[in-house]
Chain A
């Protein structure tokens, strides 16, 4: 047993888990409020990554400070992804609010196909390298064998996002409205909550966190193409269900469980079955806890 190897796998798993968590949050928040599996969510993450690449790539031709470029690119990507999330909800999901649930799901699949091909046609089908903008952090020098700068950044920003989100949901008026809408939409409307606004807000927040995930992972991995959203979306969905879909702490916990399982599975067992570990752990957990790790067991009524 090599301790250093173990640590690098552990941190790799945590990094993976952080990215899954950033995407899974949007899934779980949307699901909690309108009970929709938002298949297009992975595409939002991809668009975030692409926007960052475009802005970052264009600005890096100027003589600006690379760190400033990175921050600008990340902010623009987040704003744009949030705008996409908002627009998609208004066009593709809002008219289907009273329709059968599966119709909304197919609409989401349609959006996903559309966005993939939109990026494919307007940009390229090739893998594009992400410009290297971030300097190595000096204080990470002693641990650079298992913790790179981007990994550190991913872990740090995920932690910050989690804290901000918890504050938003627990202590602000909007958060209260969100929780109320998730519990009972009709009742929320009766007590004067603007449900449309709450739903829009959920999409905006969810898309923004997904975009942050997209920006961070592209700086970490270094290249992107139009197809990265699909598999990331599915993995994040698995993470959200693993933790109990609709529950925000559940999504985070599920993501870390998933990330660590994948990392240790590929490190110690076999890298051929990388994706299979995620699904096997999912099945095992759901067999013993049918509503996820932190999911509420709902009382069923006839």
Chain B
């Protein structure tokens, strides 16, 4: 409903935004040539869009609150999961999915396959970080360091000893896990945001060491000419190897999903969940919190290590610039947007988060602007993520009790 009061408010908002964006949008100063450019037309754009935006904003927020308070059974997620319980529908959709996945690289171009491979890598990274953040409740801002450890494991072992991709894959996981444990020890006492900032510091230090320790890591110039994965000792052509990398990524994604799914309902998985809810209560129930934290860190790091090796093999070139704090934040965004702790959520989150900027290339320079805005809007309207975690519930039916 649009009434006079709302219009007045919208006009005020528009004026406010015109004031707010005035120096940056209208004036453009070049302090080298000492010129000022005035772009008054931008002011009109801002005013109009702020006016429209303001007209609908409060209604949208109200709608969101109404939906949240309503019965959750009507939500789309629930409908889908209910449908999937039906075996016939489930089998058909699984079949279609497998068909798409297998045929994808043969139908689409190499570029598309390459993008999807990257997205799949982020699925695995997201799932790995999900162990630490989603299951364990430990905010981790330095995850890219583990990713770097994996990539440099392959890069350096190949450079010095000529080790192959397949041998480095488990080694990358191992080193990464060890690194996770080393990182875990000093920060066992830290909580919440103190933990977050220390992980961020570790991530930055790792990057700085890689950048400056030239004898070890070849500094900012990185390692080039890393071989792509080989198919049982056969060297493939570029088009074939792209498809092959895609299938490796698919295989690793499936492996990750299975392992993490099993981990989640294992003893250690439940220990993580208890730790997330309350550390003291968890300890008093007899759970070794040191062990739980260290396993969460190392189990999360394993996947980053594996993906690091794959990343090095896919791009054939690594340098410290790929493993910045920004990268860690991207992976964290994948987890939170998808839905913390929810495996299907993280998968969908990674696909959306990585593919959207790629397909927004049509808007070229505006894509990151739109992307930032989309992050804010998404969080406001779906704060729990795209597919929020559904907590396991156990129900006793009355009949069972009577028997």
Stretch in B73-81, B107-115, B259-267, B375-383 touching the partner: B375-383
- Per-position 1/0 for A69-102, Cβ under 8 A of B: 0000000100010011001000110011001101
Known A-B contacts A106-B375, A302-B284; A122 and B24 likewise in contact (beta carbons under 8 Å)? yes
Q: Which residues of B contact A84 (CB under 8 A)?
A: 20
Interface of B is mostly: helix
Q: What's the Cα separation between A184 and B106 when bound, in Å?
A: 60
Residue from the list A51, A129, A286, A290 in contact with B31, Cβ < 8 A: A129
B212 interfacial by beta-carbon distance below 8 Å: yes
Q: Are B333 and A273 in contact (CB under 8 A)?
A: no
Name the residue in B187, B333, B380 with the highest tally of chain A Cβ atoms < 10 Å from its Cβ.
B380
Q: Are B208 and A111 in contact (CB under 8 A)?
A: no
Nearest-neighbour CB distance to chain A for B214, whole angstroms, equals 10
Q: Are A54 and B375 in contact (CB under 8 A)?
A: no
Q: Are A107 and B376 in contact (CB under 8 A)?
A: yes
Q: Are B198 and A110 in contact (CB under 8 A)?
A: no
A279 interfacial by beta-carbon distance below 8 Å: yes
B329 interfacial by beta-carbon distance below 8 Å: yes
Q: Are A283 and B27 in contact (CB under 8 A)?
A: no
Residue from the list A109, A116, A283 in contact with B186, Cβ < 8 A: A283
Q: Which of B7-29 contact A (CB under 8 A)?
A: 16-17, 19-21, 23-25, 27-29
Q: Are A119 and B24 in contact (CB under 8 A)?
A: yes
| CB closest residue in chain B, given A100 | B383
- Per-position 1/0 for A291-302, Cβ under 8 A of B: 110000000101
Q: Are B31 and A130 in contact (CB under 8 A)?
A: yes
Size of the chain B interface, CB-CB below 8 angstroms: 67
Nearest-neighbour CB distance to chain B for A136, whole angstroms, equals 20
| Total inter-chain residue pairs, C-beta < 8 Å | 179
Nearest-neighbour CB distance to chain B for A163, whole angstroms, equals 28
- Per-position 1/0 for A129-166, Cβ under 8 A of B: 11100000000000000000000000000000000000
A251 interfacial by beta-carbon distance below 8 Å: no
Q: What's the Cα separation between A234 and B142 when bound, in Å?
A: 13
Known A-B contacts A95-B61, A275-B204, A286-B190; A53 and B29 likewise in contact (beta carbons under 8 Å)? yes
Q: Are B193 and A96 in contact (CB under 8 A)?
A: no
Q: Are B384 and A103 in contact (CB under 8 A)?
A: yes
Q: Which of B321-347 contact A (CB under 8 A)?
A: 325, 329, 332-333, 336-337, 340
Known A-B contacts A110-B372, A290-B190; A279 and B29 likewise in contact (beta carbons under 8 Å)? no
Q: Are B24 and A114 in contact (CB under 8 A)?
A: no
Q: What's the Cα separation between A287 and B384 when bound, in Å?
A: 33
Q: Which residues of B contact A131 (CB under 8 A)?
A: 31
Q: Which residues of A contact B187 (CB under 8 A)?
A: 286-287
| CB closest residue in chain B, given A105 | B336
Q: Are B189 and A113 in contact (CB under 8 A)?
A: no
B355 interfacial by beta-carbon distance below 8 Å: no
B56 interfacial by beta-carbon distance below 8 Å: no
Nearest-neighbour CB distance to chain A for B345, whole angstroms, equals 13
Q: What's the Cα separation between A103 and B382 when bound, in Å?
A: 9
Which residue numbers of B lie inside 8 Å of A, CB to CB? 16-17, 19-21, 23-25, 27-32, 34, 36, 42, 61, 64, 133, 139, 186-187, 189-191, 193-194, 196-198, 200-202, 204-205, 208-209, 211-212, 278, 280-281, 284, 325, 329, 332-333, 336-337, 340, 365-366, 368-369, 371-376, 378-380, 383-385
Can you list 12 A-B contacts with CB-CB less than 8 angstroms, sorted by A residue number? Answer: A53-B29, A60-B34, A106-B333, A109-B333, A110-B375, A112-B372, A113-B371, A122-B25, A131-B31, A280-B205, A286-B198, A290-B191
